[in-house]
Amino acid sequence: MVPHSLLNTGSEEYTVTELSAAKLNRMAIMSTSFVLLLLLALCRFCTAAAVADNTDVSHPKTTPSTYIVHMAKSQMPASFEHHTHWYDSSLKSVSDSAEMLYTYTSAIHGFSTRLTPEQAASLSSQPGVLSVLPELKYELHTTRTPEFLGLGQTTETMPQSDSAGDVIIGVLDTGVWPESKSFDDTGFGPVPSSWNGTCESGTNFNSSNCNRKLIGARYFAKGYEATLGPIEESKESKSPRDDDGHGTHTATTAAGSFVPGASLLGYAPGTARGMAPRARIAAYKVCWVGGCFSSDILAAMDKAIDDNVNVLSMSLGGGNSDYFRDSVAMGAFSAMEKGILISCSAGNAGPSAYSLSNSAPWITTVGAGTLDRDFPAFVSLGNGKNFSGVSLYRGNSNSMPSALTPFIYAGNASNATSGNLCMMGTLSPQQVKGKIVMCDRGVNARVQKGAVVKAAGGLGMVLANTAANGEELVADAHLLPATSVGQRNSDVIKSYLFSDPNPTATILFEGTKVGVQPSPVVAAFSSRGPNSITADILKPDIVAPGVNILAGWSGAVGPTGLAIDARRVAFNIISGTSMSCPHVSGLAALLKGAHPEWSPAAIRSALMTTAYTAYKNGQKLQDVATGKPSTPFDHGAGHVDPISALNPGLVYDLTVDDYLNFLCALNYSASEISTLAKRSYTCDEKKRYSVRDLNYPSFAVNFEGRTTSTNVAKYTRTVTNVGPAGTYKATVTSDNPSVKISVEPNTLSFGQVNEKKAYTVTFSASGSAPVNANSFGRLEWSDGKHVVGSPIAMSWN
């Protein structure tokens, strides 16, 4: 799976994460062939494609690979006393030597093992075996945020609840750095009695590292080691300890305790806190130097369900596949059945359409937006012109001369065809020494480019966005004075570089600036819809802060993740949907604490229907990728608004049966449904199922584009009153007058809490429209106090 963050990456950073730089350095000890393969995988992260693990492609029929075996537990023969005995017998029928890596009881029913393709095919034909799926390898995809979201520096804006400290957030990631002050348990009561988990010991980690805040920590590496060999414990902790930083950052973003005086090298100073500072944290380490493997991820989800977490936060993702083949979707279905909300990152493959992952409707899929905070660093040229950029560089006063310094384009200081990218070994020290170097963004890590310039004797770096990145700026804690500039500024600066015989420049660092407008804007890297698996379900669900987010960090690695970075920081600033996901995880925990009786679907509905799609001045949310208003395919229901979500008025609730009916509407077979539901379930042949009837808080309408007749699509929804008695009236807006949208009834009256009312929306499109055309609208129900909004996306296919 891909951890959805993008610290220190190049033009492919929308898939390479803050893990990448650290990984690439640690992996230098590995064999050349393996490093090349892994580099290729890293460069393809932007596709967020999960790939089947084939250890030796030269002998695919004889080389064992890891498979996840899904069993119909209810079909276990009476001759077996326990399901594990049956599993073992089934496995031994195809292989005398194969052993089970994990057995799964909660996330799925089944086990994982190593088999040849022939053995896997043979096992799939055994009685009671639903499917045998190949292991999928995945790679991993704050001080200002609470104020920006209206939460303030205290919890006064949030209702106090005795259950707030009983909510447990499980975080599947790279582990945890328990010494972080964000895990301080001062003022916390006893560990919730509902907690069934534990604190596992291992390399550099023991049970005493947990406390009343960090109440549990586990690690899962059997799948990883089965494929890549034993973990090198001298270089990576075989324990829940986080040697990377990603897991600590996501966990503390979700639920970090209050930490006064937090900053990254003086940037973004203030009191750090997670979204749900009173919630408990349980860390599940599933990601290692070589990636995250689905057998380990499923094992962690299996344990998290048994441990009794309330929210699962997963800042990772992979390629899109049918839900009965998607390990995260399968585990998430079981978690949903147990009342656990699952929050996942949408991915960093934007702004391309159809680029998001984690699209199952029982998963809350989170995109990324910006904060109103920036870290300006200007490029001042010898011709007197200044250009804005961003940077988190913090060095001594002598590191960047205030006087103008010779300035050179990297492509003119290298004999390599890729010299403009400032890759390792490509710059000429004779041409670079004592100068500021302009490097193009792309391929290798952003901070690694700076390291290359520094190693060649350069004094500073200007990192230039290309067309692939546009105007999106991500700040980095560079190792030398450096700033990143957008494509438009880059083009003007390059024109100066190429035309002036003696170009000069300097970089001016302005620190931290707040109140930046417009904000939020949808991040260009944030993955977009439409939903490639189920077009009638709109994804992403929502966007949350995911750019330049400050949160806790590992003490084992510097802020760049580079091996040569000797700096150690308690907090780091990084970006990605990996960062937006735990924001929503924490906010879901807040809502769970305030409304313990709410289902995961009700919590998601509250977050979605109260999200905003316009600024206070009435202008629509912007997309940094286009400079134009964003659409529901970009922002889903809108940007999260936690204060409004506490009192949404109405919610769209869903039950397990609703999701089973949804699977029937997808024409899934009985065995495919059993793979997800872990029990026999047969769709009623007499019943007419429709994906459009899933009680989702948004509308994705798909018309036939080539027809000249009227297209009609009907959607039925049911809302539940969670507020006072009142009467709600419906209003609809649309940017396409050729589509008539009617709501029946258009008035709903509620006399008591938990009362339910149904309505139908009819979309009638007249005439033909261009294929692949899109239009957008919005349905709102309001009683004068609450506004319950649903996005509408209409497509002609």
Best CA proximity match to 795, nearest among 773, 778, 770: 773
674 is catalytic: no
Buried b (16+ CB within 10 A) or exposed e, 315-328: bbbbbbbebbbbbb
List the one residue out of 492, 513, 509, 493 whose CA is nearest residue 401: 509
Which entry of 70, 109, 141, 246 is annotated as an active-site residue? Answer: 246
Can you tell me whether residue 552 is helix, strand or coil? strand
For residue 77, count other CB atoms closer than 10 A to its CB: 9
Catalytic residue among 173, 302, 653, 693: 173
Please identify which residue in the block is written with the tokens 């970075």: 565
CA distance 535 to 556: 43
At a CB cut-off of 8 Å and minimum separation 6, what does 57 contact?
none
With beta carbons less than 8 A apart as the criterion, state whether 575 and 489 touch: no
How many H helices and E strands in the chain? 18, 42
- Compute the distance between CA of residue 159 and CA of residue 70 in angstroms, rounded to an integer: 43
Cα-trace Rg, the chain:
26
Q: Which of 263, 391, 578, 599 is catalytic?
A: 578
246 is catalytic: yes
Neighbours of 689 (CB within 10 A): 17
Q: What is the 3-state secondary structure (H, E, C) of 345-406?
A: ECCCCCCCCCCCCCCCCCCEEEEEECCCEECEEEEEECCCCEECCECCCCCCCCCCCCCCEE
Residue type, 304: A
Tokens 């024409």, residue?
667
591-612 CB burial, b ≥16 within 10 A, e <16? bbbbbeebbbbbbbbbbbbbbb
Among candidates 102, 145, 111, 130, which has minimal Cα distance to 575? 145
Contact assessment for residue 679 and residue 76, using Cβ atoms and an 8 Å cutoff: no
Mention every residue, 6+ apart, whose C-beta is less than 8 A from residue 31: none
Contacts of 562 (CB under 8 A, 6+ apart): 8, 21, 22, 25, 445, 447, 448, 451, 479
| Phi and psi at residue 103, to the nearest 5° | -110, 140
On the CB side of 410, how many CA atoms lie within 13 Å of its CA?
Answer: 30
**CB 321, CB 360: distance < 8 Å:** no
243: annotated active-site residue: no
Spatial CA neighbour of 529 closest among 689, 320, 389, 696:
320
Catalytic positions? 173, 246, 578
